[in-house]
A = this chain, B = another copy of it.
Amino acid sequence: MQNVQEKWLIEGIEPLLEQGEREEIPARETIYYPGTPSTSVYFVEDGKVKLSYLDPSGKRITLALRATGELFGEMALVGEQRHRHHAEAMEDSVLIRIPRERMLHWVRSRPDVLYQLLQLFGLWIRDLEEIVEDLAFRDIQARLSRQLLRLSHEYGVKTKDGILISFRLTHRDLAEMIGSARENTTMALNRFAREGILAKRRYQIIIKDVDGLKEKCGPS
Protein backbone atom coordinates (compact mmCIF):
# COMPACT_ATOMS: atom_id res chain seq x y z
CA MET A 1 0.00 0.00 0.00
CA GLN A 2 1.75 3.13 -1.19
CA ASN A 3 1.32 6.37 0.76
CA VAL A 4 0.64 4.41 3.89
CA GLN A 5 3.18 4.12 6.64
CA GLU A 6 3.60 0.61 7.93
CA LYS A 7 3.90 1.64 11.57
CA TRP A 8 1.12 2.75 13.85
CA LEU A 9 2.47 6.27 14.27
CA ILE A 10 0.62 9.58 14.10
CA GLU A 11 2.48 12.73 13.16
CA GLY A 12 1.77 15.81 15.22
CA ILE A 13 0.22 13.93 18.14
CA GLU A 14 2.78 15.17 20.72
CA PRO A 15 0.64 17.97 22.22
CA LEU A 16 -2.09 15.42 22.94
CA LEU A 17 0.36 12.98 24.53
CA GLU A 18 1.42 15.66 26.99
CA GLN A 19 -2.13 15.56 28.39
CA GLY A 20 -2.05 11.78 28.96
CA GLU A 21 -1.29 9.65 31.98
CA ARG A 22 1.98 7.73 32.03
CA GLU A 23 1.74 4.12 33.21
CA GLU A 24 4.53 1.61 33.75
CA ILE A 25 3.61 -1.99 32.99
CA PRO A 26 5.97 -4.85 33.86
CA ALA A 27 6.65 -7.58 31.30
CA ARG A 28 3.84 -10.19 30.91
CA GLU A 29 1.34 -8.05 32.80
CA THR A 30 -2.16 -7.46 31.46
CA ILE A 31 -3.14 -3.94 30.36
CA TYR A 32 -6.77 -4.85 29.69
CA TYR A 33 -8.86 -7.97 29.30
CA PRO A 34 -11.66 -8.69 26.83
CA GLY A 35 -14.77 -7.23 28.42
CA THR A 36 -12.96 -4.42 30.28
CA PRO A 37 -14.67 -1.07 29.53
CA SER A 38 -13.03 0.57 26.53
CA THR A 39 -12.46 4.15 27.60
CA SER A 40 -8.94 5.13 26.52
CA VAL A 41 -6.41 4.98 23.70
CA TYR A 42 -2.88 3.89 24.63
CA PHE A 43 0.42 5.05 23.14
CA VAL A 44 3.53 2.95 23.66
CA GLU A 45 6.22 5.35 24.86
CA ASP A 46 8.60 2.46 25.34
CA GLY A 47 8.26 -1.32 25.13
CA LYS A 48 6.12 -3.80 23.27
CA VAL A 49 2.48 -4.85 23.63
CA LYS A 50 0.70 -7.97 22.38
CA LEU A 51 -2.95 -7.84 21.32
CA SER A 52 -4.77 -11.16 21.24
CA TYR A 53 -8.12 -12.89 21.41
CA LEU A 54 -8.92 -15.48 24.01
CA ASP A 55 -11.63 -18.03 23.46
CA PRO A 56 -13.58 -19.37 26.44
CA SER A 57 -11.52 -22.59 26.46
CA GLY A 58 -8.30 -20.59 26.90
CA LYS A 59 -7.08 -20.87 23.31
CA ARG A 60 -5.44 -17.68 22.13
CA ILE A 61 -4.69 -16.06 18.79
CA THR A 62 -2.34 -13.10 18.69
CA LEU A 63 -3.49 -10.41 16.29
CA ALA A 64 -0.75 -7.81 16.48
CA LEU A 65 2.20 -6.39 18.34
CA ARG A 66 2.49 -2.67 19.02
CA ALA A 67 5.96 -1.28 19.68
CA THR A 68 7.48 2.04 20.77
CA GLY A 69 5.68 5.03 19.22
CA GLU A 70 2.66 3.01 18.18
CA LEU A 71 -0.87 3.10 19.58
CA PHE A 72 -3.58 0.60 20.48
CA GLY A 73 -7.08 0.55 21.95
CA GLU A 74 -8.13 2.83 19.10
CA MET A 75 -11.58 1.21 18.76
CA ALA A 76 -12.58 3.26 21.81
CA LEU A 77 -12.72 6.19 19.37
CA VAL A 78 -15.50 4.67 17.26
CA GLY A 79 -17.93 3.65 19.96
CA GLU A 80 -16.51 0.38 21.27
CA GLN A 81 -17.89 -0.04 24.80
CA ARG A 82 -15.78 -2.98 25.96
CA HIS A 83 -12.42 -4.19 24.75
CA ARG A 84 -12.50 -7.28 22.58
CA HIS A 85 -8.78 -7.97 22.84
CA HIS A 86 -6.44 -8.98 25.57
CA ALA A 87 -3.58 -6.44 25.76
CA GLU A 88 -0.42 -7.58 27.53
CA ALA A 89 3.06 -6.08 27.88
CA MET A 90 5.58 -8.36 26.18
CA GLU A 91 8.43 -6.58 27.91
CA ASP A 92 8.66 -3.84 30.54
CA SER A 93 6.70 -1.03 28.90
CA VAL A 94 5.75 2.59 29.46
CA LEU A 95 2.35 3.64 28.13
CA ILE A 96 0.58 6.96 27.80
CA ARG A 97 -3.14 6.64 28.32
CA ILE A 98 -5.48 9.21 26.74
CA PRO A 99 -9.17 9.15 27.70
CA ARG A 100 -11.42 8.60 24.70
CA GLU A 101 -13.34 11.90 25.02
CA ARG A 102 -10.17 13.95 25.29
CA MET A 103 -8.70 12.38 22.19
CA LEU A 104 -11.96 12.66 20.23
CA HIS A 105 -12.26 16.33 21.13
CA TRP A 106 -8.68 16.88 20.00
CA VAL A 107 -8.85 14.96 16.70
CA ARG A 108 -12.28 16.06 15.50
CA SER A 109 -11.06 19.55 14.75
CA ARG A 110 -7.96 18.16 13.00
CA PRO A 111 -8.90 16.53 9.67
CA ASP A 112 -5.25 15.67 9.00
CA VAL A 113 -5.04 13.62 12.20
CA LEU A 114 -8.43 12.03 11.47
CA TYR A 115 -7.13 11.07 8.05
CA GLN A 116 -4.01 9.55 9.61
CA LEU A 117 -6.26 7.55 11.94
CA LEU A 118 -8.23 6.39 8.90
CA GLN A 119 -4.96 5.20 7.38
CA LEU A 120 -4.09 3.31 10.57
CA PHE A 121 -7.51 1.66 10.59
CA GLY A 122 -6.80 0.76 6.94
CA LEU A 123 -3.51 -0.88 7.95
CA TRP A 124 -5.33 -2.84 10.61
CA ILE A 125 -7.92 -3.98 8.06
CA ARG A 126 -5.19 -5.15 5.73
CA ASP A 127 -3.43 -7.03 8.55
CA LEU A 128 -6.66 -8.69 9.65
CA GLU A 129 -7.44 -9.65 6.06
CA GLU A 130 -4.05 -11.34 5.85
CA ILE A 131 -4.82 -13.28 9.01
CA VAL A 132 -8.17 -14.35 7.50
CA GLU A 133 -6.44 -15.44 4.28
CA ASP A 134 -3.86 -17.39 6.25
CA LEU A 135 -6.43 -19.17 8.40
CA ALA A 136 -8.77 -19.91 5.50
CA PHE A 137 -6.30 -20.95 2.84
CA ARG A 138 -2.85 -21.79 4.21
CA ASP A 139 -1.31 -24.71 6.08
CA ILE A 140 0.80 -24.31 9.20
CA GLN A 141 4.10 -24.31 7.35
CA ALA A 142 3.02 -21.45 5.06
CA ARG A 143 1.50 -19.50 7.95
CA LEU A 144 4.65 -19.87 10.03
CA SER A 145 6.87 -18.77 7.14
CA ARG A 146 4.76 -15.69 6.48
CA GLN A 147 4.76 -14.79 10.17
CA LEU A 148 8.54 -15.17 10.48
CA LEU A 149 9.04 -12.97 7.40
CA ARG A 150 6.78 -10.29 8.90
CA LEU A 151 8.64 -10.41 12.21
CA SER A 152 12.04 -10.25 10.50
CA HIS A 153 10.80 -7.32 8.43
CA GLU A 154 9.59 -5.40 11.50
CA TYR A 155 11.96 -6.53 14.22
CA GLY A 156 14.87 -8.15 12.37
CA VAL A 157 18.46 -7.26 13.22
CA LYS A 158 21.27 -8.34 10.91
CA THR A 159 23.87 -10.53 12.61
CA LYS A 160 26.73 -12.57 11.20
CA ASP A 161 24.55 -15.70 11.38
CA GLY A 162 21.48 -14.20 9.73
CA ILE A 163 18.51 -12.02 10.67
CA LEU A 164 17.80 -12.19 14.40
CA ILE A 165 14.25 -11.48 15.52
CA SER A 166 15.15 -9.02 18.19
CA PHE A 167 12.92 -9.97 21.09
CA ARG A 168 12.16 -12.92 23.30
CA LEU A 169 9.88 -15.25 21.38
CA THR A 170 8.68 -18.66 22.58
CA HIS A 171 7.23 -21.43 20.44
CA ARG A 172 3.94 -20.74 22.17
CA ASP A 173 4.12 -17.07 21.14
CA LEU A 174 4.63 -18.13 17.54
CA ALA A 175 1.88 -20.75 17.70
CA GLU A 176 -0.55 -18.08 18.95
CA MET A 177 0.49 -15.75 16.14
CA ILE A 178 -0.47 -18.28 13.48
CA GLY A 179 -3.49 -19.84 15.22
CA SER A 180 -1.93 -23.26 15.56
CA ALA A 181 -1.15 -25.74 18.34
CA ARG A 182 2.22 -25.28 20.04
CA GLU A 183 3.30 -28.85 19.17
CA ASN A 184 2.68 -28.39 15.44
CA THR A 185 4.53 -25.09 15.46
CA THR A 186 7.54 -26.68 17.11
CA MET A 187 7.50 -29.46 14.52
CA ALA A 188 7.48 -26.96 11.67
CA LEU A 189 10.29 -24.91 13.32
CA ASN A 190 12.37 -28.06 13.74
CA ARG A 191 11.84 -28.92 10.10
CA PHE A 192 12.94 -25.43 9.01
CA ALA A 193 16.00 -25.76 11.27
CA ARG A 194 16.93 -29.15 9.75
CA GLU A 195 16.61 -27.64 6.28
CA GLY A 196 19.00 -24.83 7.23
CA ILE A 197 16.36 -22.10 6.87
CA LEU A 198 16.65 -20.91 10.46
CA ALA A 199 18.53 -21.47 13.70
CA LYS A 200 16.81 -21.69 17.08
CA ARG A 201 18.27 -20.67 20.39
CA ARG A 202 16.54 -20.23 23.71
CA TYR A 203 13.72 -17.67 23.02
CA GLN A 204 15.55 -16.61 19.86
CA ILE A 205 15.11 -17.27 16.17
CA ILE A 206 17.66 -16.42 13.51
CA ILE A 207 16.60 -16.57 9.89
CA LYS A 208 19.50 -17.87 7.83
CA ASP A 209 17.86 -18.31 4.43
CA VAL A 210 15.24 -15.66 3.63
CA ASP A 211 14.68 -16.97 0.10
CA GLY A 212 14.15 -20.47 1.43
CA LEU A 213 11.59 -19.10 3.86
CA LYS A 214 9.83 -17.18 1.08
CA GLU A 215 9.51 -20.41 -0.92
CA LYS A 216 7.71 -22.01 2.02
CA CYS A 217 5.06 -19.30 1.95
CA GLY A 218 3.42 -20.72 -1.14
CA PRO A 219 1.69 -18.52 -3.74
CA SER A 220 0.54 -15.15 -2.43
Residue-wise interface mask of A (102-127) relative to B, using a CB-CB cutoff of 8 A (1 in contact, 0 not): 00000011110011011101111110
Tally of this chain's copies: 2
A: residues with CB less than 8 A from B are 1-4, 53, 55-57, 59, 61, 63, 75, 77-81, 84, 108-111, 114-115, 117-119, 121-126, 128-129, 131-133, 135-137, 179, 219
Contacts of A129 in B (CB 8 A): 53, 63, 84, 128
State A61–B133 Cα separation when bound (angstroms): 8
Contact B137 A55, beta carbon cutoff 8 Å = yes
Known: A79-B1, A79-B3, A119-B79. A132 touches B128 (CB 8 A): yes
A-B contact pairs, 24 of them (CB 8 A): A1-B75, A3-B78, A3-B79, A4-B78, A4-B79, A53-B132, A59-B136, A61-B133, A75-B126, A77-B118, A78-B118, A78-B123, A79-B122, A108-B115, A110-B111, A111-B114, A121-B125, A125-B128, A128-B128, A131-B132, A132-B132, A132-B135, A132-B179, A135-B135
Known: A109-B111, A118-B78. A219 touches B132 (CB 8 A): no
Contacts of A119 in B (CB 8 A): 78-79
Contacts of A61 in B (CB 8 A): 132-133, 136-137
User: Is chain A's binding surface mostly helix, strand, loop or mixed?
Assistant: helix
Contacts of A121 in B (CB 8 A): 78, 118, 121-122, 125
A108 to B: closest C-beta gap in Å: 6
Contacts of A57 in B (CB 8 A): 137
State A111–B63 Cα separation when bound (angstroms): 29
Contacts of A118 in B (CB 8 A): 77-78, 114, 117-118, 121
Known: A115-B114, A117-B118, A118-B121. A80 touches B136 (CB 8 A): no
Contact A179 B135, beta carbon cutoff 8 Å = yes
State A137–B55 Cα separation when bound (angstroms): 7
Contacts of A79 in B (CB 8 A): 1-4, 119, 122
